[in-house]
Chain A
Amino acid sequence: MQVTSSVREPLVTGGKTYHDVTHDVSRQVEGKPTLLWFLAFLTAVGTLAIGLIAVTATVWEGIGMWGLNKTIGWAWDITNFVWWVGIGHAGTLISAVLLLFRQKWRTSINRAAEAMTIFAVICAAMFPVLHMGRPWLGAYWALPLPNTFGSLWVNFNSPLLWDVFAISTYFSVSLVFWYIGLIPDFATIRDRATGLRKVIYGALSFGWDGAAKTWMRYESVSLILAGLATPLVLSVHTIVSFDFATSVIPGWHTTIFPPYFVAGAIFSGFAMVLTLMIITRKVFKLEDYITMTHIELMNIVIIITGSIVGIAYITEFFIAWYSGVEAEQYAFINRATGPYWWAYWSMMTCNVISPQLFWVKKIRTSIIATFALSIVVNIGMWFERFVIIVTSLHRDYLPSSWAMFYPSITDVGVYLFTFGLFFTLFFLFAKFFPVINMAEVKSVLKSTSEKVRK
């Protein structure tokens, strides 16, 4: 029998009943889309369409359309790739790691966070695929498929190939995890619907009937998927960091990269979850489900991961000095004082200083401050990847090849395309799928409700 604490803070406020949960969440799916939703959706689709011009130009003309040069072979593309993958991490973290740690507050936010993960990973994957130059041949270069292009198989010694396996596994496992969680909620919508909607949600719900035996297996599957996804979260960004760490470029060749990248990913991911959830709870009137407690707890995660990232920056500097390697020392001094000093100090301000403001309870529990800081953190994390990639490449061992990177309009367009794609998918999700995991919220309702408290 479950032990109920009468002093525990309620996770869902407003004295909701089970039926209220069903009603409040299904309302969005069943009602007509609002004007606000249409406007937001059209903006996203418009951005997507404008960005598509840049993507077409890249595929048609080749990646010469980007601002890359002989020295800087990776710039915005890989910056954006790592940034989007990092954003994706919070979703799996919330659904998997917090499930293993029995953090019940995850139930209100896991669905939207997982959706965010999936859409962010799709956006991330765009960049390496486009960077191939001839993406239609990409399958032969990236997957172990028999071919006659010379070297017969892909190179399993290369971290870039590990990335292919890591990202595709991460994407597909996250997708399955997300969908398994959606099945019971689709059944709820099916049982409230009539006509065509009933047919569609009937198919989506896979014939779920809520039998105790199925729930038992469902719980078992969720727990094991969480157990599998937890090391996956750590492995994916570790492997992404190997793209840099296994090279011999000063500023990349460091052992701190794997944990530092993972912390940064969780940091930026939680910031993006906050940005999206603050908008979603307001637009869909879900303040009783995504409460200040949720926001505050996420802000605490931001403080922790932000501080880890801050320590990592300082450690990198210390190790560069302590190693006695001149090239390494120069790379770091150049980051802070060279031509890209502004990017470095933007990163420091946004990632190290700004999250420390959350130590103040007033800021941590303010919606406006949280929203603003979540965006600041995302900007900071973009700069972090930019600083790592571009400042390390633009001045290497050979001063005659030193160069600067200037993004072309196509670079901007491709980045814009992924924003359009991300928000188009997110708005479609928010309209047609239940944004809150109804079944899981119902399961925590009783043990933490206000009624029990009294």
Chain B
Amino acid sequence: MERDKNFILGVYDDEDVLLHAVSEVRTSGVKIHEVFTPYPVHGLEDVLGYKRSRLPIAAFLFGLLGTTLALTMQLYMMRFDWPMIIGGKDNAAIPDFIPVTFELTVLLAAFGMVGVFMISSNLKPWAQPRIFDLRSTDDKHIMAIDIANNTSLEVVKIQEILKSSGATEVNNKSFE
């Protein structure tokens, strides 16, 4: 179990205010733990300084795996393991293998990428997420600041920074 954690939460009503606030809070030296929003706020990942997701690379690699598997499977089955002449066609009728190859490429790319997404974001049916504020899935944007990560600044100072950045509420939250 993690040790007790204390968080300061800034509650924001508006996405534009939030975007400015994130920049302001970061430039004043406060380390942000995470921001929770009810919907995807475009540009938030940039102001938070997150690196671009590498999920497209995962999708590409899984797609490549799908292509290879599909072509190998069809060639092995139709040409080597049980060759039969069907409708006078060549055993290794590559053009005929394209539809199945395409479908398996898409299937593996999609499932592989979604699997990576689920694992990297810790999404699973039995996951018990730490909910900082119930309203973060409704209508509020929540900026969580871990006090343990910001030892150089006093709690009161952090609260002031949040308020001046446009937070409508500043709350505290601890997890056991």
Contacts and interface: CB of A to CB of B under 8 A. Distances in A.
Chain B associates with chain A? yes
Given A215-B40, A232-B106, A235-B102, A151 B139 contact: no
B113 A162 contact: no
A442 B38 contact: yes
Interface in B151-165: none
Interface stretch (A14-22, A82-90, A336-344): A14-22
B136 to A, nearest CB: 5
Contacts of B87: 157
A217 B111 contact: no
A230 B37 CA distance: 29
A166 B122 contact: no
B3 interface: no
Given A156-B74, A221-B113, A224-B56, A215 B123 contact: no
B31 to A, nearest CB: 14
A219 B138 CA distance: 19
Contacts of B77: 144, 152-153, 156
B41 A191 contact: no
Contact of A207 (B93, B124, B136): B124
Contact of B34 (A158, A207, A212): A212
Contacts of A151: 82, 84
Contact of B103 (A157, A169, A176): A169
> Which of A210, A217, A232 neighbours the largest number of chain B CB atoms within 10 Å of its CB?
A210
B100 A162 contact: yes
Interface string A430-451: 0000000011101100100000
B44 interface: yes
Contact of B124 (A18, A158, A206): A206
A188 B128 contact: no
Contacts of A190: 137
B21 interface: no
A229 B118 CA distance: 19
Contacts of B106: 169, 173, 228, 231-232
A144 B53 CA distance: 36
Interface in A25-71: none
Contacts of A169: 103-104, 106-107
A173 B107 contact: yes
Contact of A225 (B110, B130, B131): B110
A453 interface: no
Given A162-B99, A165-B100, A206 B59 contact: no
Contact of B100 (A2, A156, A212): A156
Contacts of B89: 157
A213 B33 CA distance: 11
Interface in A183-198: 183-184, 187-188, 190-192
Contact of A439 (B39, B45, B96): B39
A144 B73 contact: yes
Q: Specify the main secondary structure of chain A where it touches its partner.
A: helix
Contacts of B125: 203-204, 206-207
Interface string B63-87: 0000000000110011001101011
A221 B43 CA distance: 17
Given A19-B139, A22-B138, A207-B128, A188 B81 contact: no
A191 B138 contact: yes
B123 A183 contact: yes
A209 B131 contact: yes
B39 A22 contact: no
A78 interface: no
Contacts of B126: 203, 207
B138 A217 contact: no
Interface in A210-258: 210-221, 224-225, 228-229, 231-232, 235, 239, 242
A210 B139 CA distance: 12
B97 interface: yes
Contacts of B42: 2, 443
Interface string A382-408: 000000000000000000000000000
23 contacts: A18-B38, A19-B139, A152-B77, A156-B74, A156-B100, A159-B99, A165-B99, A165-B103, A169-B104, A173-B111, A192-B134, A206-B124, A207-B129, A208-B123, A211-B36, A212-B45, A215-B39, A217-B53, A217-B117, A221-B114, A224-B113, A225-B113, A443-B40
